[in-house]
């Protein structure tokens, strides 16, 4: 059994429930991948970071959905609630 990564309800396949995908990505079909590699995340990500998180040591990155693809942004990242 898989669970949606956004609202944690059971789903048959994929990563998101249709409702969560619609809320997060404005479509029932989320982007299939990120347009950057793990190495690019650590190399390019710091250029887009303005603050820090006290609660953990994980690097965080703001993303924006542009033409159905994720793009790294310094400001203007998008967040939706399910």
Domain count, the chain: 2
End-to-end CA distance of the chain: 21
Query: What would the pLDDT profile of 4-17 be if each residue is shown by its tens digit?
Result: 888 899 999 888 88
pTM summary value: 0.47
Query: Same domain, yes or no, for 35 and 71?
Result: yes
User: Residue 75: exposed, middle, or buried by beta-carbon count in 10 A (0-12, 13-18, 19+)?
Assistant: exposed
Nearest to 60 by CA among 76, 70, 46, 40: 46
The larger pLDDT score, comparing residue 3 to residue 49, is at: 3
Residues pairing with 46 in the sheet = none
Q: Are residues 11 and 47 in the same domain?
A: no
Q: Name the residue range of residue 75's domain.
A: 31-82
Residues 49 and 76 in one domain: yes
Instruction: Compute the average pLDDT of residues 42-70.
Output: 74
The answer to whether residues 10 and 35 belong to one domain is: no
> What value, to the nearest 5°, has the Cα angle with vertex 49 and ends 44 and 54?
125
Does 17 share its domain with 43?
no
């Amino acid at each position: 059994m898989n669970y949606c990564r956004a609202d944690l309800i059971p789903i048959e396949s994929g990563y998101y429930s249709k409702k969560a995908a619609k809320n997060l990505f404005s479509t029932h079909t989320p982007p299939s991948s990120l347009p950057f590699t793990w190495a690019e995340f650590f190399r390019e990500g710091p250029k887009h970071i303005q603050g820090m998180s006290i609660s953990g040591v994980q690097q965080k990155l703001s993303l924006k959905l542009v033409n159905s693809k994720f793009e790294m942004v310094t400001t203007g990242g998008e967040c939706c609630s399910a």
